[in-house]
């Protein structure tokens, strides 16, 4: 079974025994919980599109391990074409869901872990890469959704892991046994964790010798004993409990984040991919971050396409589509969105082969891509709110529209262009609200700022990779400045 159907994916989650808390209550059935369900639908779309011949080239790839057709989210990039197709696939899924479809973190994690474990084995004589390859084979065969887990709570960020007042602020090894390790701690902001089959944990920062217990990477079932989840709040999330459709804005699709907690979880050695090799923690963080920053040049652009379309429809329904300033704002939104896409494609096209054989993006351009993502979606969202108008945030509820007495009043006074049903206008304004302020803002605007690392993280990498020294030499040569004699 190299490719699951969307129905098989949903059924596989029903068989799991996840321990999930939502708003202070333990959820018996996460699959059908009204707050969680839209995020599951987004992941299902990754399985659905992989079954459609029209999308096969983007959604699937030929496994380098066995030659079978596998979901691209389970694939190691074998060339720059794979890297480019990844970004195009992410844009497509953003267009189809207008939300976070959650499998990107796992795809980016497996590609980072692959090359780093190979290099660890080459230098240290370990067998981590062999273990990882066996895990990857199963992941491809079962078409698993894997949650890449990197971000620790971090506690006091001025202190390294081993100096924290509470040693659990970073995931750590608390016991080594003949048959495996025991880990404790938590991972925060975990995208799609509750919709995943397995967890792939990585360290969150470059470690020193004193932090060796925290330099750990491993895989575990998402419902392993000792693992539980606390679901993150989103703006307007309780609208999903009100029995309405329009007020949600995007009723079918969504994303989610959760705190993933490890309470003395046992991990067999076969699923351990780093255990104390602190000198390789920085490379793993850098490569995962680079892959994930590339991802944003696809997924955020696809959601941006939907937002631009919604803004254009809002202008049409408001009767201002022909105004020159509205046209100019829509043009600017398209310009900004395509600029983001250009960065995603550029860092992919400039990718290079790693020692393990898979391909990594150009890290400098990937960080430039994400740095732009921390800014331009905010302007796209601002322009969308400008075009949509203030009614986007002052509309009465769908309950008012459906009310037997006041419904006609709502419909009368909130109608725009006469030929457009008032309900259509309401739906599109709620969609803009959802994308800029509501639950989808987690997967678009705010995630654009902090996902895959906050802005300063990219600036650190840009400074490191910008190679000012060679640029100075270029300037000296053109200016005719001669090199000083060395004595």
Name which of 241, 245, 235, 238 is nearest 398 in CA terms: 245
Identified catalytic residue from 74, 104, 347, 369: 104
In the residue annotation, 447 being an active-site residue is answered as yes
In the residue annotation, 275 being an active-site residue is answered as no
Identified catalytic residue from 46, 151, 191, 439: 191
The answer to whether the beta carbons of residues 196 and 106 sit under 8 Å apart is yes
In the residue annotation, 292 being an active-site residue is answered as yes
- Cα distance between residue 385 and residue 372, in whole Å: 20
Identified catalytic residue from 10, 74, 100, 256: 100
Identified catalytic residue from 74, 275, 299, 369: 299
The three-state secondary structure class of 153 is coil
Identified catalytic residue from 214, 271, 296, 359: 296
| Token code pair at residue 410 | 């709502």
The answer to whether the beta carbons of residues 194 and 229 sit under 8 Å apart is yes
Neighbours of 170 (CB within 10 A): 26
- Cα distance between residue 91 and residue 347, in whole Å: 15
In the residue annotation, 299 being an active-site residue is answered as yes
The three-state secondary structure class of 121 is helix
List CB contacts of 126: < 8 A, sequence separation 6 or more. 120, 277
Identified catalytic residue from 292, 354, 398, 444: 292
- Cα distance between residue 148 and residue 378, in whole Å: 26
Name which of 376, 310, 319, 370 is nearest 346 in CA terms: 370
Sign of CA dihedral 20, 22, 27, 29: negative
In the residue annotation, 54 being an active-site residue is answered as no
How far apart, in Å, are the Cα atoms of 234 and each of 156, 165, 249, 429? 25, 30, 14, 19
In the residue annotation, 204 being an active-site residue is answered as no
Residue 85 — φ and ψ, nearest 5°? -65, -35
In the residue annotation, 405 being an active-site residue is answered as no
In the residue annotation, 104 being an active-site residue is answered as yes
**191 marked among binding-site residues:** yes
- Active-site residue set: 100, 104, 191, 257, 292, 296, 299, 447
Task: Write out the binding residues for FAD.
Answer: 191
- Which residue ranges make up the annotated binding site? 191
């Amino acid at each position: 079974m190299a490719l699951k159907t969307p129905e098989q994916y949903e059924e596989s989650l029903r068989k799991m025994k996840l321990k999930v808390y939502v708003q202070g209550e333990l959820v018996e059935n996460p699959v059908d919980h009204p707050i969680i369900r839209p995020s599951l639908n987004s992941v299902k779309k990754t399985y659905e599109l992989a079954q459609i011949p029209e999308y096969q080239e983007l959604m699937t790839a030929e496994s380098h391990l066995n030659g079978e057709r596998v979901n691209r989210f389970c694939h190691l990039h074998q060339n720059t074409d794979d890297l480019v197709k990844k970004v195009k696939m992410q844009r497509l899924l953003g267009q189809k869901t207008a939300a976070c479809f959650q499998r990107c973190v796992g795809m980016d994690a497996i590609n980072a872990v692959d090359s780093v474990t190979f290099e660890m084995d080459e230098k240290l004589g370990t067998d981590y890469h062999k273990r990882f390859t066996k895990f990857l084979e199963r992941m491809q065969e079962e078409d698993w959704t894997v949650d890449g887990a990197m971000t620790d709570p971090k506690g006091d960020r001025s202190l390294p892991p081993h100096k924290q007042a509470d040693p659990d602020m970073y995931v750590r090894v608390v016991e080594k046994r003949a048959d495996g390790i025991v880990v404790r701690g938590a991972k925060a902001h975990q995208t799609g964790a509750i919709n995943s089959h397995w967890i792939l944990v990585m360290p969150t920062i470059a470690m020193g010798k004193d932090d060796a217990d925290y330099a750990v990477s491993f895989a575990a079932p998402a419902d392993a004993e000792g693992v539980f989840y606390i679901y993150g709040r989103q703006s307007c999330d309780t609208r999903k409990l009100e029995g309405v459709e329009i007020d949600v804005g995007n009723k079918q699709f969504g994303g989610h984040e959760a705190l993933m907690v490890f309470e003395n979880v046992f991990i067999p050695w076969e699923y351990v991919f780093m255990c104390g090799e602190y000198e390789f923690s920085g490379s793993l963080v850098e490569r995962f971050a680079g892959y994930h920053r590339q991802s944003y040049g696809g997924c955020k652009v696809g959601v941006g396409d939907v937002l631009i379309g919604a803004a254009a429809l809002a202008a049409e329904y408001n009767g201002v589509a022909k105004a020159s300033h509205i046209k100019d704002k829509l043009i600017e939104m398209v310009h900004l969105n395509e600029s983001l896409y250009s960065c995603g494609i550029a860092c992919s096209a400039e990718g290079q082969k790693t020692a393990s054989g898979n391909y990594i993006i150009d890290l400098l351009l990937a960080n430039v891509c994400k740095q732009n993502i921390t800014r331009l979606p905010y302007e796209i969202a601002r322009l969308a709110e400008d075009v949509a108008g203030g009614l986007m945030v002052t509309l009465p509820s769908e309950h008012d529209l459906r009310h037997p007495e006041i419904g006609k009043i709502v419909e009368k006074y909130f109608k725009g262009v006469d030929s457009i049903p008032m309900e259509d206008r309401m739906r599109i304004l709620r969609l803009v609200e959802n994308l800029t302020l509501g639950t989808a803002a987690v997967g678009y605007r705010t995630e654009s700022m902090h996902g895959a690392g906050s802005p300063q993280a990219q600036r650190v990498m840009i400074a490191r990779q910008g190679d000012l020294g060679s640029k100075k030499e270029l300037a000296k040569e053109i200016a005719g400045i001669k090199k000083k004699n060395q004595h």
